[in-house]
Amino acid sequence: MNRPVVIADHGVTVIGGGLVQPDDLVLALDVAPLLVAADGGADQALALGHLPDRVIGDLDSLSDAAHARIGTDRILHLAEQDSTDFTKCLTRIAAPFIIAVGFAGRRLDHTLAALNSMLRFGQVPVIMLASDDLVFVAPPRLSLPLAPGTRLSLFPMGSAQGVSSGLEWPVDGIAFGPDSRIGTSNRATGPVTLHIDGPMLVMLPRQELATVMAALQLPHP
């Protein structure tokens, strides 16, 4: 069993080595002020003017300069290769929620692996920020006070089904699956409710972060 090395009573931002814009990190740290870097994500954090509180990973991407600047006492070296650096972070953080940045926008395999980790190791709710979107694993019941016309996409990570209200194209009775039906570019007609059975990702415009946090009952500092 992995013991948490980062324990917080507020949100934690995890930064990876993918594409990160300065606004991404500012937005994440505003709601999740403790910063954990997944291996080489530490170099990105430093380049954006932020010193990570912790670095977790196998350290195959962390530069010597970043290592020296951060200091060994803030770095947890996990040499095993059976999990990604993002998974290493998720399984060693105890917090109300995690905002993930830098896990989308460069390598597709890294993005897919991060989404897989969110689903498999989701004891802590995770919201991933991408360039235009945010994504999170759907809880069994979700209510979102969305404005009419707001884009909402559903992507199944396995067999899933659901019941909805407030969507232009209701999901009732649809057998979702990654090899069959998916729910790209649906639209809200007003407040949305979802009852989901099975592994499902929800994608919304990233400006809906506060709405999603409230719906998931995540604390704001």
Domain at 165, CATH number? 2.60.120.320
Question: What pTM, to 2 d.p., does this model score?
Answer: 0.94
Q: What percent of the chain has pLDDT over 90?
A: 82
Domain at 59, CATH number? 3.40.50.10240
User: How do residues 102-132 score in pLDDT, each as one tens digit?
Assistant: 998 778 888 999 999 999 887 889 999 998 9
Give the end of a domain, one of 95, 116, 131. Answer: 131
Rounded Cα gap, residues 77 and 72, in angstroms: 9
Total of domains in the chain? 2
Find tokens 């994504």 and name the residue. Answer: 135
Q: Which domain holds residue 181?
A: 137-205
Q: Which residues contact 133 (CB under 8 A, 6 or more apart)?
A: 203, 204, 205, 206
- Average pLDDT score over residue span 81-109: 90
Beta strands 126-129 and 98-101: pairing type? Answer: parallel
Cα distances from 195 to residues 155, 161, 183, in angstroms, run 14, 9, 14
User: How do residues 49-71 score in pLDDT, each as one tens digit?
Assistant: 999 999 999 988 899 999 999 99
- Average pLDDT score over residue span 8-36: 94
Rounded Cα gap, residues 92 and 69, in angstroms: 23
Same domain, 126 and 144: no
Do the Cβ atoms of 70 and 44 come closer than 8 Å? no
